[in-house]
Amino acid sequence: MSNRLAACSSHAVSASKPMYNAMKNAIIYHRVDWDGYTSAAVALKAFPQAELIGWNYRDPLPNVAEYDRVVLVDLTIYANSADGRRDFSWMFNNQKKIIWIDHHPIIHEVPGTYAGLQKEGIGACWLTWKYFHDEYGISCNTTHIKYAATFDVFRKDGWLCSWEDAWAYQLFLNKFGPGYTPKTGDCSKKHVKQASALLLASEEEISANLEAGYAREEQRAKKEAEIFTNHAWRVKIGDYVGWLIESDEQPAIVVKSHSDHGVGDFFILFSNGKKDDKGNYRVSIRVPESSDFSAKAFAEARFGGGYLKAAGCIISEEEMNAIWNTQFAL
């Protein structure tokens, strides 16, 4: 996509200069995971007075008329038009004030020219760090950024650090809970503050967090075994055979050791506590490396999105019942 990465020289102004301090800035970040929280925390290093705005797909389009600068991290903002196509007019209309940093696969051309950085296959928080380090000279402990970035893109080959360490660190982070639930609303600003503190943590503190993560791994293994024993069902979608799983746990935690329970082409995680006011299910889809089932295609057909191996969308109660009715005994 030729226009996704614009020259940044016109925006490479030190955040400490008076003209920038006088500007009103906003940081819009993906409000559902640690990659989004950490990306926002890094951007805050460049714009410490910026307003934090958590956003997720299907949320109302944010109103940024009052801001001079908008830092957009770990997402692309668009609306679904009546015919099901993606409408990028929000991006285009605000392009002159946007610094856009993202790593999600974008299969549609995004009109306009943007300052920032987009690259698939690496966590958005690492791209955010690279951009603001190179352009604004910010500094912090990058260890947390590496762990969060490696985990978020499910890189088993350790793109930035050991996958095992990234996994254990994620388990430590998960004790804080998700950034949004129907009962509590959006708690993501709290998690951005926690991520900000981790950017300043010492290596000793990070190491202690990592050890806590490995301890939680033992608890996770026991909980996952119980989930698969009592709350997982074999189902079919077309020619694919997978798992329908009822769980409030983080999706990656539930399916990490799926081979211990029988390989499936896909895993669809749902919870009755995550139904919307129309009775639809907010689901997460995970796909093992050995399967060619596309989580991304499945989610996008239902106006969701994500990666080939990890995505999310909303499934109607009628479709959920149809999937449920395909279940069969092992």
The reply to whether 212 falls in a domain is no
Tell whether 107 and 65 lie within a shared domain.
yes
Same domain, residue pair 41 and 117:
yes
Query: Is 2 within the bounds of a domain?
Result: no
Same domain, yes or no: 80 and 160: yes
Q: What share of the chain is helix, strand, coil (3-state, %, to 5)?
A: 40, 20, 40
Q: State whether 162 and 41 are in the same domain.
A: yes
Size (the chain), residues: 330
67 is a domain residue: yes
pLDDT in tens, the chain (330 residues): 333 333 333 333 333 333 445 689 999 999 988 999 999 999 999 999 999 999 988 889 999 999 999 999 999 999 877 776 789 999 999 999 999 999 987 767 899 999 999 998 899 999 999 999 999 999 999 999 999 999 888 777 888 999 889 988 988 887 766 676 667 778 899 999 999 999 999 999 999 999 999 998 887 777 776 777 778 888 999 999 998 988 776 655 556 555 445 568 898 988 877 677 788 998 989 888 788 999 999 998 888 888 888 888 999 999 999 998 998 755
* Residues 167 and 24 occupy one common structural domain: yes
Give the pairing type, strands 69-73 and 98-102: parallel
Output the domain CATH number for residue 97.
3.90.1640
- For residue 236, give the nearest of 308, 293, 304 by alpha carbon: 293
Q: Do residues 317 and 162 touch, judged by C-beta distance below 8 A?
A: no
End position of a domain, from candidates 199, 222, 243: 199
**Which residue segment(s) compose the domain that 35 sits in?**
9-199
Count of domains in the chain? 2
Residue type, 202: S
In a shared domain, residues 193 and 241: no
Please give the backbone phi and psi of residue 265, each rounded to the nearest 5 degrees, phi first: -75, -25
The whole model's pTM is what?
0.71
Same domain, 111 and 244: no
Based on the fold, state whether residues 117 and 195 are members of the same structural domain: yes
Q: What is the spatial distance between Cα 12 and Cα 134, in angstroms, rounded to a whole number? A: 9
Residues 136 and 271 in one domain: no
Same domain, 18 and 129: yes
Among the candidates 199, 217, 244, a domain finishes at: 199
The pLDDT value given to residue 15: 39
Residue 314 and residue 304 in contact, taking contact as beta carbons nearer than 8 Å: yes
Residue 79 lies in a domain: yes
At 104 the pLDDT is 86
Do residues 150 and 262 share a domain? Answer: no
Q: Does residue 29 sit within a domain?
A: yes
- Both 130 and 263 in one domain: the answer is no
How far apart are alpha carbons 56 and 58 in whole angstroms?
Answer: 6
